[in-house]
Structure 1
């Protein structure tokens, strides 16, 4: 059986493009998630995985619709292999029922990992360059230096509880703990 899986990142997006392509491929059953791929829980993906049987083929419109990371894709592919399930991606023209399809998947997986590593490297380099220019990342503090000194004094004197200090300065308890440290 050909089983289609589609995913859109938000409920406002329309899965019609993916569904139409999967129907043209001959999918007999479609599972559609309407959530970010970064979410660990994707209910329709889980339902599809439970329903798959040996000999089935999972079809997606595009590789990134199935996995949230290269590691996740590789895990899913290994699971499919153990189950005797093939995988096909319409856009990338990949079909793991063939040796060439397995090779293509591994090349795509390696390239995606390489791209992520480059992005991480550039991000770290950019942050280091910004720090070298004296820029500090993150949200500006709600507390002035005077407020921070007073919070440390109140914490040391135990005149108020952490919750009372947080309420007084309209910050979280964690901010009070971090300031006291």
Structure 2
């Protein structure tokens, strides 16, 4: 892919967006984009958290190598870091560059490309940390005998007492449910597992 450095043949394409319900208009953005030399500006009224914005999709679909997408502020392109990086990747794959006038980000320069790479690296680091915390939480839940994130209501010994009392006829299911503070369906599952020779502890949740 050729470098999308700005030169006399670069085609600057502006993108302006305001959210639905906002009192502001695209006028300020449009003036800034026109002043930057944009030959065409795609304007949109939509939430910055949505990726499937029609004018944004149309703009990306029309990008050619050497084009440069220009926005007034970075959040005009997207308020979501994940979507922002995805949009930036689409722009890069088209062989185009990107400029944000307010933040002075310009991927047509080496410094600008390095900055976006750093942002992407931090985002990937954050995703990796979230995955690690999730895995650690699930491992801790399994170690504590929780299933599906819920703490067990009864221990194995209590489950066996419930099952043996009901099966022997000493107590009814309703009585054991009231005694141990669980629901009758839970008692029914414990008893059914006991009769089938299955470990009853796995059924001991509310």
Per the normalisation by structure 1, the TM-score is 0.58
The CA distance in 1 between the partners of 2:124 and 2:31, in whole Å, is: 29
Is the partner of 2:17 in helix, strand or coil?
strand
State which of 29, 42, 64 in structure 2 corresponds to 1:18. 29
The CA distance in 1 between the partners of 2:121 and 2:100, in whole Å, is: 16
Gap regions ≥5 residues in structure 1 = 118-181
8 Å CA contact 1:19–1:30 kept in 2: the answer is yes
Q: Indicate the structure (1 or 2) with the bigger Cα radius of gyration.
A: 2
Residue 85 of structure 1 is matched in structure 2 by: 96
Gap regions ≥5 residues in structure 2 = 1-10, 130-206
Q: Deviations over 1:98-149 (max 9, x none)?
A: 110012224455678999x9xxxxxxxxxxxxxxxxxxxxxxxxxxxxxxxx
More deviation, 7-16/80-89: 7-16
Residue 14 of structure 2 is matched in structure 1 by: 4
Give the CA RMSD over aligned residues. Answer: 2.7
Q: Please state if 1:98 is matched with 2:146.
A: no
- Using a 3 Å threshold, how does the CA distance of structure 1 residues 62 and 113 change in structure 2: closer, same or farther? farther
Report matched runs for 1:56-135 at 5 Å. Answer: 56-108=67-119
The CA distance in 2 between the partners of 1:77 and 1:90, in whole Å, is: 16
CA apart distance, 1:28: 0.2
State which of 54, 60, 75 in structure 2 corresponds to 1:49. 60
